[in-house]
Amino acid sequence: MKNAVGREIPEEILKATGKEVFHGVHYYDGYEYQKDGPKTRCVVNSDGSKLVKTIHEALVKCEIRDGMTIGFHHHFRDGDLVVNMVMEEIHKMGIKNITICASSLGKAHAGLVPYMEDGTITGIQSSGVRGEIGKAISEGKLKGLAVMRSHGGRVRAIETGEVHLDIAFIGAPTCDDYGNCRGIGGKADCGVLSYAMVDADYADRVVAITDCLVPFPNFPTHISMTKVDYVVVVDAIGDPKKIATGAAKPTKDMRKLMMADYCTRFVTSTPYFKDGFSYQTGVGGASIASTISLAKIMKERGIRMRFGVGGLTKPMCDLLDNNQVDVLLDTQDFDLDAVESVKDIRHFRISAGEYADPFNKGAVVNKLDFVILAALEVDVNFNCNVVVGSDGVITGAQGGHPDTAAGAKCTIVLTPLLQGRIPAICTEVTTVTTPGESVDVVITEYGVAVNPLRKDLLEAVKNSGLPLKTIEELRDLAYRIAGEPEKVEFGERIVGIIESRDGTIMDVVRQIKPFQFKEEKKVLPESVHK
């Protein structure tokens, strides 16, 4: 059955998942459902400690068994030690058929591939699956379907009960013996625990893992003791060097600087750019450069930002230091400056639900004026792909991309015309992750394309001097330079789904074909898209 972005979703997948096809970004507005609730074990006694000696003991007390679903967060990013540590113990215990439901997985988790191969892990649900795990899924090594969700979509899936977490493990930079967790302090300081909050709310059993036990009460708590069953102290939960990087150096890449310049000019030409506006941006070089140049114009024009939101980096925190923004709302800290900035009293932590969940009574993304995003591919319908590489291998993460795009009044996607030698603007993206109806503007170093649905924005920028193009013109230009890309050839088996933030199916991901020499493919074939 074809969905609202024109993707064919096979009946077998609809049947297997019990899901609908994607109907459009606002299809579920006003939808009513009953929230799930965890099975909770009451602690009425006054013994006063939840410490257990080992992860093994915690697993036993949580009654680990085959087929369970385990929650993890990704605030330690490439420095995460928790997922591997827990899965190693589960593997040792001979438990099979585990589904990992993580807010994201990445390079740190290559060690899980053997557990996929031996049936310890048969399900993976995550925002993204970068690195070896993505490759393994694309190669068909996971028995079950991988589910790729946005940050908001993960909260939705858990609170609707579509996914029920049997046990959640929460790596806590500091924790007391009764389970009050904070994202700040300790050896693995990650600043915030936003993505783990929904796990604490909805998992039947919650285990806090820390390498820095502090006296009770560890306040202000980010995750309350009222939701934590057990506390385990280990030597290390994260590698500090890989949790948050030093601030990115301002880019010198001319293409990125051009995109940043176009972006800033676009933003400042719209009616949303006025005192009290709100803003989110990413971690790419162009995004960062654009934030820096935007700050200058804000100063010149005496315009102040009301709030900045999202995964944060130094340039956003600089706005706070320079008193150009009232407050920051933080879900993740990408660099050490952001981790440090969390201590500012105007820099607030929010949960992933508050940030981006489409199934609560209104998330922060709904209040966004601007979001600046990147993409691996954008097609002529403004659909974006941020998960599957042009080679067909899962390599990225939905993150908050579809959430912020849906919420923001002006969604701007920055992408170079070519990613390496492959056109980033194309006729049809390999996989749709963010629907074109949410994407208002695409900015490349060769020109700026406004979504024709946004006549108001086109009108606003028509005299800006920006190199306005149609998205087809950008695509044609890309194809002229690099040639029309050959369509990736997938196998038949569907290895994963791209879930829309509302739980419907945006697209499917198929197994990649084993590599083979194809002499005849050296000549570009006729496009299959015409």
Quick one: which of 122, 99, 441 has its CA closest to 267?
441
- Comparing CB distances to its own copies, the nearer of 178 and 279 is 178
- Comparing CB distances to its own copies, the nearer of 217 and 250 is 217
Q: Binding residue for its own copies (CB under 8 A) from 7, 50, 130, 265?
A: 50
For residue 201, the minimal CB distance to its own copies (Å) is 9
For residue 34, the minimal CB distance to its own copies (Å) is 5
Is 348 an interacting residue with respect to its own copies (CB under 8 A)?
A: yes
For residue 429, the one-letter residue type is V
Is 217 an interacting residue with respect to its own copies (CB under 8 A)?
A: yes
Site for its own copies in 293-332 (CB under 8 A): 306-307, 327, 329
Strands 418-419 and 205-210: unpaired
Applying CB under 8 A, what is the total number of residues that bind its own copies? 64
Is 167 an interacting residue with respect to its own copies (CB under 8 A)?
A: no
For residue 351, the minimal CB distance to its own copies (Å) is 8
- ∠ CA 112-375-103, nearest 5°, is 35
Using DSSP's 3-state secondary structure scheme, residue 123 falls into strand
Is 229 an interacting residue with respect to its own copies (CB under 8 A)?
A: yes
Q: Binding residue for its own copies (CB under 8 A) from 71, 123, 311, 358?
A: 358
- Which region among 34-42, 141-149, 377-385, 412-420 touches its own copies (by CB under 8 A)? 34-42
For residue 526, the minimal CB distance to its own copies (Å) is 41
Is 192 an interacting residue with respect to its own copies (CB under 8 A)?
A: no
Is 408 an interacting residue with respect to its own copies (CB under 8 A)?
A: yes
Quick one: which of 478, 322, 491 has its CA closest to 393?
491
Rounded Cα distance between 263 and 266, Å, is: 5
Work out the burial of residue 242: count CB atoms within 10 Å of its CB; fewer than 13 is exposed, 13-18 middle, 19 or more buried: middle
Is 228 an interacting residue with respect to its own copies (CB under 8 A)?
A: yes
Rounded Cα distance between 505 and 41, Å, is: 35
Is 456 an interacting residue with respect to its own copies (CB under 8 A)?
A: no
Q: Binding residue for its own copies (CB under 8 A) from 171, 400, 407, 485?
A: 407
Q: Binding residue for its own copies (CB under 8 A) from 79, 179, 191, 416?
A: 179
Query: What DSSP assignment string belongs to 171-188?
Result: EESEE-TT--EESSSSTT
- Comparing CB distances to its own copies, the nearer of 355 and 446 is 355
- ∠ CA 200-203-204, nearest 5°, is 125
Residue 399, sorted as left (phi over 0), alpha (psi -120 to 50) or beta, turns out to be left
For residue 319, the minimal CB distance to its own copies (Å) is 16
Q: Which strand (E) or helix (H) includes residue 348? A: strand 347-349
Q: Binding residue for its own copies (CB under 8 A) from 269, 360, 419, 464?
A: 360
Rounded Cα distance between 319 and 321, Å, is: 6
Is 45 an interacting residue with respect to its own copies (CB under 8 A)?
A: yes
530: which 2 tokens? 């015409």
Q: Binding residue for its own copies (CB under 8 A) from 15, 18, 46, 514?
A: 46
395: which 2 tokens? 């390599």
Alpha-carbon dihedral angle through residues 8, 12, 13, 18, given to the nearest 10 degrees:
120
Strand-pair partners of 68: none
User: Site map for its own copies, 362-401, x if CB under 8 A?
Assistant: xxx-xxx---------------------------------
Residue with tokens 């603007």, as numbered in its chain: 425
The full length of the chain comes to 530
- Comparing CB distances to its own copies, the nearer of 38 and 423 is 38
- Comparing CB distances to its own copies, the nearer of 400 and 423 is 400
Q: Binding residue for its own copies (CB under 8 A) from 15, 53, 94, 215?
A: 215
| 194 DSSP assignment | G
Verify cis geometry, omega within 30 degrees of 0, for the bond prior to 38. Answer: no
For residue 512, the minimal CB distance to its own copies (Å) is 34
Asked if residues 165 and 203 have their Cβ atoms less than 8 Å apart, the reply is: yes
Work out the burial of residue 335: count CB atoms within 10 Å of its CB; fewer than 13 is exposed, 13-18 middle, 19 or more buried: buried
Report the interface residues with its own copies, using CB under 8 A.
25-26, 28-48, 50, 159, 178-179, 206, 215-217, 219-220, 224-229, 276, 306-307, 327, 329, 345, 348, 353-354, 357-364, 366-368, 406-409, 502
